[in-house]
Structure 1
Amino acid sequence: MASLFPLQVTTASPQPNEYFTKSRQGINSVDGILGAIVDCSSRVGKEERIAMEMAIEDLYKKRNQRFILHLKCSHNEPLHAATAARNLIKRKHVQAILGLRTWEELSAVNDVCKQSNVPILSFADSGSSWVTENWPFLIQASPRTYKQMKAVAAMIQSWGWHRVNVIYEDSGSMANEIIPHLYEALQEGDAKISNLVPLPSFANSSLLHEKLRKLKREQCRVFVLHTSLSLAARVFEKAKEMKMMEKDYVWITTDSTMSLVHSVNPSLISSMQGVLGVRSYFTATGQDFSDFDTRFQDKFSQKYPEEKNHEPGIFALQAYDAIWIVGLAMQEGNMKSNQILEKIAAVEFNGLSGKIQFKERKLAPANQFQIINIIGKSYRELGFWSDGLGFSKLINTAPRYNFSMQILGGIFWPGATSTVPRGWDFPTISNPLRIGVPNGSLTDFFVKVEYHSSTSTYSFSGFSLEVFEKTVSGLKYFLPYKFIPYGGNYTDLVMQVQLKKFDAAVGDIAIISQRYEYVEFTHSHTEAGLVMVVPIQSDSTRTWLFIKPFTVTMWLLAAFVNIYNGFVVWTIERHYRSELGGPILNQIGTLLWLAFSTLFSSNGEKLHSNLSRIATIVWLFVAIILMQSYTASLTSMLTVQRLEPNIKDIEILKSTNAFIGYSHRSFVKDYLEKVLGFHPNNLQKISSTQEYAEAFRSGKIAVAFLEAPEAKVFVAQHCKTFTIAGPRYHVGGYGFAFPKGSPLLPDIDKALLNVLETGVVKNLEDDLIASQKCIDIDSVNEFVRLCPQSFFGLFIITGSTSTVALGIYYFCSKSETENSMPEPKGIWMLIIMVLKILRYQRKRFVRKVSDAESPRNSANTSHFRPQV
């Protein structure tokens, strides 16, 4: 069995003679005795040892302070660390203990130091407030790095990844202090942890294979690795062997691995190609660092020739600064423990690892980290991330910051590609997504499933399916899928998605809280809300209803015949009544008055000519028939029975115990009962939009509660009979269902928002709504409107009578009119001229007929052609 202390090193100031002389005089001959506990078998412990020895030398050279350093190795075992601390305190009489990188070691050593009041300068990342409150002799000598998890989350958010797998080393220092911060940072970045995989520090090849094989079966391809370098090396080697370091994979490592990337061997580098990492930032410039770097590499190569890389990392710088912290605190010589503790807490200077300033015995958390990318035989420094600012190419002097990693330039990804991985993949990409579609939607508008028996196949159409197709076509990658009909109810359908019998469900699926227990939904692609559909009243109150009994042609013909009869009466009566003459405007007004006054009075006592009386009597007879027909038709329209009262308040429904229709496949029934307070006995389930209309007409229901999208379609199909009334209750909306944690969901959501914002969905909805033909008939149109064909005979009689009367008047009284009446003017002269021409042509025609019938012309009868 190995010795408990396989390595024990005592280091003093580099003047051997002087040191040995003073050491014989006792511990008061030196400025202090320090102890250190490190894992000497690890690269971190090796760097810390060399750095501490250099710090002891530099304190003597630069400040003439002499310290003795007793260093012991813990092999990363808490029990060894506690035993080493007890030995340093009891036998070496150390005044402070440095080191202790893990929480477990620190916890074990604290119990020992607490009994002796010996301060501990710990390098462990365990700076919770309760630690310093309960451990009064603890000094956190390295800044906490929990903010690196914000950098990791920023990297994930920058590339639009929403799911990650976290692999971490199952130790207190790894899990308890870092994982909660990673979880919180990812949530702020709109990302979630798909799998949280703990690995023991001693994980062997078979265990790693089992864990990675399970992760490979999942869709998520983004991995965050938070382990020690030794465990990380085994993980990457196994991942490469399992082809998980290829295209479409993403690997991000944290400071615990990347701060030692300068020391990894070529074989490990070859297994980490394309890995992104976050590591603690320190200034690798300036004369002080240059001198330290040169001396460190020389000493490290001599001490550890087996190591191939000799560069110092952040752990070496922190160990060097820790010795200086104690040296500056004890510059007044030997002091008691409580004095040392107070002095250490007051130390302030700029060290190689950064600014050293304590607050409540803790260094301020690190706010800046370096982003690196493994490529080729080494790594490339991409840039920096600063808390609250984002990414930048340069630190502090950067001209600008950005929350996108694209500012850092091109990145080398796993699989030797520069194309940004999408962060997820199908376990078997050749299999398309299985999309469940409801077979039996309330209306064919949203989902229509048809079975073709000739080919034993299904065809799918409808608004919701078209929106899904438009959404998928907007993705940045090809996504194969196929629709599969499902005959159960909608809640059962989403449960099938939870059970992974379907990869998603698409259709008129309402987004309700109950279904969120099984799946996650995209944004709604329809209006959200529950509305009340009611029958509308007959359109009997319209302003222009009085013109409905007659067609337009009928109105025009009646007006023309009326004016024509007025013209005939006016023409005949002008000879007897001087008041019918005068200026042209006066004559026109008199003509129109005569035309319309005959509809209400025969004017028999005022008419002087029997011809005008005859024309008026006939027209009055026709007018009476027209008015009676008009009155009967208008009365029928005004007294038509209403379909249903126009209900606008649900309280009326409750008080009258009215029956209410609802979709039997919807959540509406529960809402009507539990929220709106309707009695269950008054609720009638309806299966289709056609059944709704029949239920209304039969009186089975008084109103119906429909989801807003269905109501819009129903009202479009029954535009003359039903309408939406009352308030809108904000529930539901239709969405696409995906399994919880599906990496597809964020991409689908983004693509859906794009088609919504660009108006694609609105145009699609408008086109489909416009295609819905109104199957109702206007209640007014149910009555036959009166047209000229119904009264054609009457118009012929009155028109012929008036024309004959007018002709008789002109032909019988021509001579008298020419001798006694003044010469007509204007339009009337034109009318008289036309009549004269017609009379002349008639006489000429009669004369030719007479000549043709005489014996003299009988031989030419067959060649006679009358001229008109």
Structure 2
Amino acid sequence: MDTYNILSLGVLVFLIIAQKAMANGVEKTTGRGIMGAVVDGSSRIGKEQKVAMKMAVRDFNNSNNQSFFLQIQDSQGQPLQAALAAQELTDRQKVQAILGPQRWEEASLVAEVASQARIPIISLADATPVWATERWPFMVQASSNQDLQMRAIAAIVHSWEWYHVTVIYEDNGSSMVEGIPLLSDSLREVGAEISRLLPVPPSVSSMVKELEKIKQDHCRVFLVHLSVPLAIRLFQKANEMGMMKKDYVWITTNAFTSLIHSINTSTFPSMQGIVGVRSYFPDKKPQFQDFDKRFETLFASEYPEEDINKPGIYAVQAYDAAWALCLAMKESYSKDGQHLLGNILTNDFDGLSGQIHFINQKLAPADKFQVINVVHRRYTELGFWSDRLGFSKSVHEGSAYNSCMKNLGHIFWPGDSESTPRGWAIPTNSKPLQIGVPNMSSFKQYVNVVHNPINNNNSFEGFAIDLFKATVASMPYFLHYKFISFQGTYDNLVEQLHLKKFDAVVGDVALVASRCEHAEFTYPYTESVLVMIVPVQARTSKRELLFIKPFTKAMWALALAINLYNGFVVWMIERNYCPEHRGSVLNQIGIMIGLSFTTLFSLQGEKLHSNLSRMAMVVWLFVALVITQTYTANLTSILTVTGLEPTVADVQSLQNSNSMVGYCRGSFVTRYLTEVLRFRSENLKSYKSPDEYAQGLRSREIAAAFLEAPFAKLFLTKYCNEFIAAGPTYKVGGFGFVFPRGSPLVHDVTKALLNVSEHGKLQELEKAMLASEKCVDVKSEDEISSLSPSSFWVLFILTGGTSTVALVSYLIQRRKMIWRLILAIMIGKKQLSRRNSNVESPANSVGIIEFSMQP
């Protein structure tokens, strides 16, 4: 604004002096209905505007029986010349209003002149500052501003998940600079940012130097915010330098894209894959089709040197602006500028560019932009973007809209690439990424730097190193890197990223707010909590039903089965000697079960009659003695066994007892303990290895140790019998890979890290790390006390085998008796069958049976 003020004052001083000199002898044109226009006749925009304005005035006069005149002045693209042209129109031509130029540098000076003359100026500049209408109250903005265009560009960037953009703009103090803050704000809303602003000078040699700079950067998304002639030279040089190949992205703004229809197709080969945004107007309407035909004829006759005669958005806007002015002048019966301004602002009609009406002296903003793609020797219309709805392939009602540009279909990218450019790349001539690795980790399982004195080289090991390698391997492109050991605190290591000493940091680096001032972290790959570790102490078990705990369920079942079996064998052998063992089936079952348990637990049982039963019983009693004694001893052990419980319940207990606590040397935990948990600094003691922690806890030098969850897992795995996690956990940041702020690697590495985690590789690496520190954990009561059959299988085989041998031997010895018994039964049946014919004495039958049952 200061530049404009100085320039405006200088021009006005010159004009005031010149005005008096021209006052005498000047022929003044008077009359009703004279309007003026200032255009840049040397540019394509100015040429289209000039033809369109003439057509608008002519069409309006013919359709409304008016005789308005249009006086056009050529500024030649020079702000001073534009001011002089405006002075000419107001002083000599006595115009009632001025249609302003397209560039803001010219429009601002014309607005100053028009305001002095108190006549309206309809500005066609597309980069008008928000304060313009306050400074020049007679100014009306008749072109859409750039803010929505920049939102459309941000939507494109967001659709393809690009996070950094290099902006190339014209270094001549032009109005294009006004759009950069709007672009920056729009990108920030979608999580992206401008990585570099590159002003491009008009000279070719300087342009090449600037392109070399961005070629060495990581960012490959370039937004071209240049006028058509300069943009064409830029693309030609970029193509020669190999910057129109795969992985490059070129996006053009309205300044270039809205004039792409006027560019000779011979220049298109150097623009392959460009994606552009331009203002939309309904070019399929009959109203525009008629205008198009007449425009091409008039334009070709007036500018035969131009190869292409089709009109664009600038011609359409100029036509609508001239028509709006004619409508206002028709309704104005006064030459007062304020009255004419009021008529202009009340216009509301359907123009070539859409509905024309003004809000706060500005044309109602267009809410649609067209997205185009340069393919071979032409450009294709991919679709449209609306600020309210997003992207669609059509602007007709009922069209499907989506927030992502990917739904517009196939995009032709530079290098004829089928895959979407990732938006950044490592230059081929760049050095390997310098990856800093901490050399003071307390837990070497996470990161360990091993120095080889023979070749003076370092090797890097550990979970974090393996995870980073797996993450890089899952990325869709090769990443060249080199690990470098760093001796110092973790905070100092992260600060090296800000100082450009490292390109990334890999290790057990916690995500802490203060570190985010210098760096960006990936997604945390570990649990994000702080754990309190304390020693364990005895706890008396008070569980019920302990009398069954000495044996497992299988042992109880097997003992019961072998008892019943042995009882059955003894009963089977002894029943022939003991009449009381006979009787009903139910009675004999009861006698057998009773025999099993009374004989087992009493050595005063009934006298056995058979050597076979005595043999089975001796072995059985021996096994029973061993089992019962083992049961008694194990039950006694269970009744006196102790459990494990933490020595400290919570943080409050530590603070109340003024106890010492330990933490990892060089860690952020010291700040957390003092600032969040409110421990006194003199009660903190640092350690540098798990063994030191263990020794400190054993000796009661410290009552507890605070470790991040990954370290706590390792520590408890190694010392599972001595220490335990206690109290609540505390939310912290977790471990992550670290990069400088603004690094394009952050997004891709985070995405790759998530893929590694989702496919189970992260869990696999963590399990392998914990397995390397495996120890026998404290067993539960079930595992300690309950004895299984595996402890007695020899005894069970001995007693079961002895009883089986006794039973088999008994059956062999009694086989003759069995046959006699069977014979007696058969004889008895025959006698009964002959009862009616030959009745025998019952005593004889009974005697036979009784005789058969004798041993």
Return the TM-score normalized by structure 2.
Answer: 0.79
Q: 1:637 Cα deviation (Å)?
A: 7.2
Task: Give matches, 1:455-466, under 5 Å.
Answer: 459-466=459-466
Does the 8 Å contact 2:332/2:340 carry over to 1?
no
Q: Which residue is 1:513 aligned to? A: 513
Give the AA of the match of 1:207.
S
1:671 matched to 2:689 = no
Change (3 A) 1:579 1:459: farther
Q: Determine the structure 2 residue equivalent to 1:496.
A: 496
Is 1:721–2:725 an aligned residue pair? Answer: no
Change (3 A) 1:515 1:638: farther
Deviation at 1:593, TM superposition (A): 5.3
User: Could you list the per-position Cα deviations for residues 383-411 of structure 1 after superposition, in whole angstroms to 9, with x for gaps in the alignment?
Assistant: 32222333333332574333443444433
What is the distance in 1 between the residues matched to 2:619 and 2:318? 125
Equivalent position of 1:247 in the other structure: 246
Alpha-carbon distance in 2 for matches of 1:545, 1:174: 89
Partner of 1:584: 588
Provide the secondary structure at the position in 2 that maps to 1:711: helix
Deviates more, 1:397-406 or 1:562-571: 562-571
The equivalences for 1:74-223 within 5 A come to 74-126=75-127, 130-170=131-171, 174=175, 177-199=178-200, 203-223=202-222
Structure 1 distance, partners of 2:284, 2:591, is 112
Give the alignment of 1:695-714 within 5 angstroms.
Answer: 695-714=696-715
Q: Give the residue type in structure 2 aligned to 1:354.
A: G
Q: Secondary structure of the equivalent of 2:414? A: coil
Cα deviation, residue 368, structure 1: 1.5
2:227 corresponds to: 228
Q: CA deviation at 1:462?
A: 3.6
Question: For residue 849 of structure 1, what is the aligned residue in structure 2?
Answer: none
Question: Could you say what secondary structure the match of 1:166 adopts?
Answer: strand
CA 449–126 in structure 1, closer or farther in 2 if over 3 Å, else same: closer
> What is the match of residue 395 of structure 2?
395
CA deviations over 1:718-751 (Å, ceiling 9, x no partner):
3333332221211121111122212222122222
C-alpha distance in 2 between matches for 1:26 and 1:411: 56
Instruction: Indicate if the aligned counterparts of 2:638 and 2:785 stay in contact, CA closer than 8 A.
Output: no
Of 493-502 and 44-53, the range deviating more from structure 2: 493-502
* Amino acid across the alignment from 2:340: I
Q: 2:420 corresponds to which residue?
A: 420
Letter in 2 for 1:264: I
Moved more, 215-224 or 36-45: 36-45
In 2, the alpha carbon distance for the partners of 1:380 and 1:173 equals 29
Closer/same/farther in 2, CA of residues 545 and 204 from structure 1, 3 Å limit: farther
1:13 counterpart residue number: none
Q: Larger deviation: 736-745 or 462-471?
A: 462-471
CA distance in 1, matches of 2:676, 2:317: 64
Change in Cα spacing, 1:295 to 1:263, as seen in structure 2 (3 Å) is same
Name structure 2 gaps, 5 residues minimum: 1-10, 13-26, 816-855
The residue aligned with 1:296 is 295
Structure 1 residues 168 and 430, CA gap change in structure 2 (3 angstroms): closer
Letter of the aligned partner of 1:61 in structure 2? N
Cα distance in 1 for residues equivalent to 2:259 and 2:414: 20
Match of 2:753 in 1: 752
CA contact (8 A) 1:99 1:319 kept: no
CA distance in 2, matches of 1:779, 1:244: 68
Asked if residue 528 in structure 1 is aligned to residue 524 in structure 2, the reply is no
In the alignment, the residues of structure 2 paired with residue 515 and residue 370 of structure 1 have an alpha-carbon distance, to the nearest angstrom, of 43
Quick check: 759-768 or 156-165, which moved more?
759-768
Q: What's the secondary structure of 1:476's corresponding residue?
A: coil
- Describe the SS at the equivalent of 2:198: strand
The letter for the 2-side match of 1:725 is: A
Which whole-Å deviations, capped at 9, do the CAs of 1:160-201 have from their partners, x for residues lacking one? 2221111223567635642232122222333221112344xx
| Distance in 1 between residues matched to 2:460 and 2:397, nearest whole Å | 59
Structure 2 counterpart SS, 1:147? helix
Q: Is the 8 Å Cα contact of residues 530 and 732 (structure 1) preserved in structure 2? A: no
Equivalences, count: 781
Cα distance, 1:396–1:630 mapped onto 2, change above 3 Å: closer
Q: 1:27 aligns with which of 25, 30, 36?
A: 30
SS of residue in 2 equivalent to 1:331: helix
Q: Is the 8 A contact 1:314 1:353 kept in 2?
A: yes
- Decide whether the 8 Å contact of 2:232 with 2:267 is kept in 1: yes
| 8 Å Cα contact 2:510/2:735 also seen in 1 | yes
| Deviations, residues 344-380 of structure 1 (Å, cap 9, x unaligned) | 1111222222221222222111222222223334433
My pick for the range that moved more, 437-446 or 257-266, is: 437-446
Matched, 1:329 2:328: yes
Q: Contact conserved, 1:535 with 1:643, CA < 8 A, in 2?
A: no
Aligned partners of 1:538 and 1:640 also within 8 Å: no
For residues 842-861 of structure 1, the aligned pairs below 5 Å read: none
CA pair 211-375 structure 1, distance change in 2 beyond 3 A: same
The verdict on how the C-alpha distance between 1:645 and 1:525 changes in structure 2, with shifts beyond 3 A counting, is closer
C-alpha change, 1:362 and 1:25, in structure 2 (3 Å) is closer
2-structure distance, mates of 1:252, 1:535: 63
Q: How far off is 1:523 after superposition?
A: 0.6
The one-letter amino acid of 2:591's match is: Q
Partner secondary structure for residue 34 of structure 1: strand
**Long gaps (5+) in structure 1:** 6-23, 807-825, 838-868
Contact 1:121 1:140 in 2 (8 A): yes
Q: CA deviation at 1:752?
A: 2.2
Alpha carbons of structure 1 residues 87 and 790: separation in structure 2 relative to 1, 3 Å: closer
Higher mean Cα deviation, 232-241 or 118-127?
232-241
Q: 1:46 is paired with a residue of what secondary structure? A: helix
Paired residues of 2:661 and 2:703 also in contact (CA < 8 A):
yes
The SS at the match of 1:308 is: coil
Counterpart of 2:21 in structure 1 is none
Equivalent position SS for 1:536: strand
Secondary structure of 2:147's counterpart equals: coil
Residue 441 of structure 1 aligns to which amino acid in structure 2? S
CA distance in 2 between partners of 1:120 and 1:183 (Å):
30
Which stretch of structure 1 is more off in the superposition, 410-419 or 183-192? 410-419
Alpha-carbon distance between aligned partners in 1 of 2:558 and 2:345, rounded to the nearest angstrom: 110
Distance 1:787 1:218 in 2: 70
Shift in Å, 1:85:
2.4
Cα distance change, pair 160–785 in 1 and its aligned pair in 2 (3 A)? closer
- Look up the equivalent residue of 2:516 and give its one-letter code: Y
Q: Which residue of 2 aligns with 1:661?
A: 662
Seq. identity, %: 48
Relative to structure 1, the CA distance from residue 483 to residue 578 in structure 2 (aligned partners, 3 Å threshold; closer, same or farther) is: farther
| CA positional deviation for 1:119 | 0.8
* Bigger shift: residues 401-410 or 689-698: 401-410
SS of alignment partner, residue 756 of structure 1:
helix
User: Residues 696 and 785 of structure 1: is their aligned pair in 2 closer, same or farther, counting only changes over 3 Å?
Assistant: farther
C-alpha displacement of 1:766: 4.3
Q: Secondary structure at the match of 1:537?
A: strand
Structure 1 residues 306 and 26: CA distance shift in structure 2, 3 A? closer
CA contact (8 A) 1:293 1:312 kept: yes
DSSP 3-state at the match of 1:27: coil
- Using a 3 Å threshold, how does the CA distance of structure 1 residues 413 and 563 change in structure 2: closer, same or farther? closer
Shift of 1:445: 3.7
Could you tell me whether the CA contact under 8 Å between 1:539 and 1:779 is conserved in 2? no
Q: Which amino acid aligns with 1:208?
A: M
User: In structure 2, do the counterparts of structure 1 residues 549 and 58 end up closer, same or farther at CA, with 3 Å as the change threshold?
Assistant: closer
Q: Structure 2: how far apart are the matches of 1:479 and 1:294? A: 56
Distance 1:104 1:780, change over 3 A: same
Q: Per-residue displacement from partner, 1:217-247 (whole Å, max 9, x unpaired)?
A: 2100110011222332343344334332333
Superimposed CA distance per residue, residues 104-152 of structure 1 (whole angstroms, 9 cap, x where no aligned partner): 3333333332233211101123566543345321211122242122221
Residue equivalent to 2:766: 765
> 1:117–1:496: structure 2 CA closer, same or farther, 3 Å change rule?
same
Q: CA deviation at 1:317?
A: 1.6
Q: Relative to 1, partners in 2 of residues 1:484 and 1:782: Cα closer, same or farther, differing over 3 Å?
A: farther
Q: TM-score, normalised by structure 1?
A: 0.77
Letter in 1 for 2:186: A
- Is the 1:533–1:706 contact (alpha carbons within 8 Å) kept by the matching residues of 2? yes
